[in-house]
Chain A
Amino acid sequence: MSCITKFLGAGAVLAFTAGVAAAEPAIIYDLGGKYDKSFNEAAWHGAQRWAKESGKKFREVEIQSEAQREQVLKRLAQSGANPIAMTGFAFADVLNKVAPEFPKTKFAIVDSVVKQPNVQSIVFTEEQGSYLVGIMAAMASKTGTVGFIGGMDIPLIHKFECGYAQGVKSVNAKDKVIVNYTGTTPAAWNDPVKGSELAKGQISQGADVIYAAAGGTGVGVLQAAADGKILSIGVDSDQNYLHPGQVLTSMTKRVDNAIYNVFKAGANLKPGVKVMDLKAGGVAPAMDKYNAKLVTPAMKAAVDKATKGIEDGSIKVHDYTTDNKCPVE
């Protein structure tokens, strides 16, 4: 019995000291976990960059179950963490409930819009970035067939796919886009073997540029494309360096910048919707020394032209998630 009291005492002391370290920013990673080589990891990099620059600390929690979304959010808010960032649309519903309970705490959510006076919603225009890499894919393709390999079959990835297909068709309406999804469970984000199998399948159907929007699975797609002597397109982070000269470009989605900005703003975080589009540098095709030889001047000009068109509104890229439909197949 005395042993248990000692345990309880130790726990209480620790919980107390943990509570004292207030006003630290906090980040909650979605179920994929911190080291998913993709989305959550990008967020972590952003938080790390802020910590290194400011010399301050931040709190981080990887949730393990659905029930923990609300639990962790509330506990962090009660302990005084501010602002609290979270990655992933799956938090939207819970945040909508929790945010009004903590009016003095600022929250930031990536990939979804939560309309509360103390929440900053950060959304990316993935369809625009995908449109641009679609243009590049169509121009680089000799066979007139390009591929798309998605991770888990969810609306967000259809948004990538639809933007990409629109970009491809804008160059040549007759081009064929082969689409495959890795799976229907979260394991689809981290299955490079299956990614490489799917890529080989698409190569045998004539695809000579493959865009992988599949998290860790994409590593296998890029590898298979490099082995098959065709081009690939990376996603989220700049993956051009993985196979120099064989990755056409990467559709970068700067989640790291988003989280960095949230932490930098601290308690002064501005609520509202923050759209990380082409103009804001939220999405972009990556251009660096590894793909310089692959990007022809004509390709560069086409991308620049389309970028301008999207920015001034003369080109409208349809967002799949607004109506669950894609204008092109």
Chain B
Amino acid sequence: MDRLPTWADAILVPVLSIVIAFAISAIVILGIGENPINAMGIMISGGLGSTYGWGYTLYYATNFMFTGLAVAVAFHATLFNIGGDGQAQLGGLGVAMAALYIPWPNWWLALFGASAAAALFGAAWAAIPAWLQAKRGSHIVITTIMFNFIGSALLNYLLVNVFRPVGSMDPATANFPKATTLPNLSSILGLVGIPFSNQTPANVTFLIALLACLLVWLLIWHTRFGFALRAFGKSEPAARYAGISPVKITMYAMLISGALAGLMSINNVMGESGRLVLNSSEGAGFIGIAVALMGRSHPLGILLASILFGFLYQGGAELAMWTTIPPQLILVIQALVILFTGALDNMVRMPVEAVFHRLGKRRG
């Protein structure tokens, strides 16, 4: 059978899947006695209808872009990094230590320092499972999952016993110094004359995430290392025969993956809360898996999928605020989107292919 044209493969099929997911969600909303058209209206106007909504959508999307890229890089080497969440939390620890213990003169130096710390801590947390996989053959899925738990236990211990200011109930670090406050998206867009709500947590990290998308694209498709990575992912024996070291590729892929996941913490820890709280990543590492699956491990796809998930988060928050629809319903919608775009991809793809095939024949 002919291959689908690129636009149909990258856009038409996912869009159709999303439409089906939303249609089924609408039935669920009807079932709990709410009006699905109103609900969708609130979600769309709340998530995308104002710069305020966009601010929150992009804030969440920034998190998912980093974790999505993290999963994608490892995935190109057929390594399934499920530890993005733990790596992001450790990245948060790096950010917090950099911001609290080093007296930064201004925000952009602090941003460099904190980014380096976040990437370093995230990479370090990925290094151990990577080494175990490369040298010992311990399966990376199992070890990275386990490292999520170890990571959250470690952070819990540190936040409760080490970083928590005396007398504070909250297991969180002290607030970071003023100098480390990152400029929000509204002040950056203001420089080029675009008005944007200043009430949202979207900040300069969004631009770094865009840059990360570009760099990952260059890395995977335009460098020798990227070629080795993909060759190793497609066939390990062939890659070995071509002189590519599996140990090196496994280590490097996971280190880059961990660093990307760790970088997420600049957005939520430094940009949003200005302190490190318990469970700071809030499952973004897992959403990253869905984002990478949906975006077909391509940075552009990941960018779009991240915005979709950011929209679901923000639109879902609006739903919870203005209707009696329980917030768990958003999980249902998210799950349906993942189900149709990830697991049931062929259900949409095959009929679309058949249609294109028939059209192609008629033309021929």
Contacts and interface: CB of A to CB of B under 8 A. Distances in A.
B44 A8 contact: yes
Contacts of B327: 62, 64
A7 B44 contact: yes
A185 B156 contact: yes
Tell me which of B167, B175, B322 has the highest count of chain A C-beta atoms within 10 A of its own C-beta.
Answer: B322
A154 B278 CA distance: 10
Interface stretch (B131-139, B268-276, B297-305, B353-361): B268-276
Given A9-B41, A15-B42, A185-B156, A67 B169 contact: no
Nearest to A325: B166
B268 A67 contact: yes
Interface string A1-29: 00010111111101100100000000000
Contacts of A15: 42, 45-46, 322
B166 A14 contact: no
A70 B201 CA distance: 10
A11 B60 CA distance: 22
A142 to B, nearest CB: 34
Nearest to A9: B41
Interface in A69-112: 70-72, 74-76, 89-90, 92-93, 111-112
A321 B167 contact: yes
A65 interface: yes
Interface residues of A, number: 42
A66 B284 CA distance: 12
B169 A111 contact: yes
A313 to B, nearest CB: 21
B277 A11 contact: no
A66 B282 contact: yes
Contacts of A321: 167-169
Interface residues of B, number: 50
Interface stretch (B113-121, B243-251, B254-262, B313-321): B313-321
A11 B170 contact: no
A196 to B, nearest CB: 21
Contacts of B330: 64
Contacts of B223: none
A178 interface: no
B42 A14 contact: yes
Contacts of A154: 156, 160, 171, 278
Contacts of B44: 4, 7-8, 11
A305 B323 CA distance: 51
Nearest to A96: B175
Contact of A7 (B41, B279, B316, B323): B41
A155 to B, nearest CB: 6
Contacts of A62: 320, 326-327
A130 to B, nearest CB: 16
A324 B166 contact: yes
A8 B169 contact: no
A10 B170 contact: no
A156 interface: yes
Given A61-B321, A321-B169, A66 B45 contact: no
A184 interface: yes
A20 B94 CA distance: 46
Tell me which of B153, B166, B278 has the highest count of chain A C-beta atoms within 10 A of its own C-beta.
Answer: B278
A153 B317 contact: no
Contacts of B322: 14-15, 18
Nearest to A321: B169
B59 to A, nearest CB: 6
Contacts of A204: none
Given A90-B170, A112-B169, A185 B279 contact: yes
Task: Please name the 8 residue pairs, one residue from A and one from B, whose CB atoms are nearest each other, closest first.
Answer: A11-B45, A10-B41, A11-B41, A184-B156, A89-B169, A7-B41, A184-B153, A18-B322
11 contacts: A7-B37, A7-B40, A7-B45, A14-B322, A65-B60, A66-B273, A71-B317, A72-B321, A92-B169, A154-B160, A155-B171
Given A61-B321, A154-B171, 9 more contacts: A10-B42, A11-B41, A11-B42, A14-B41, A14-B323, A62-B327, A71-B56, A71-B317, A324-B166
Interface of A: 4, 6-12, 14-15, 18, 61-62, 64-68, 70-72, 74-76, 89-90, 92-93, 111-112, 152-156, 184-186, 321-324
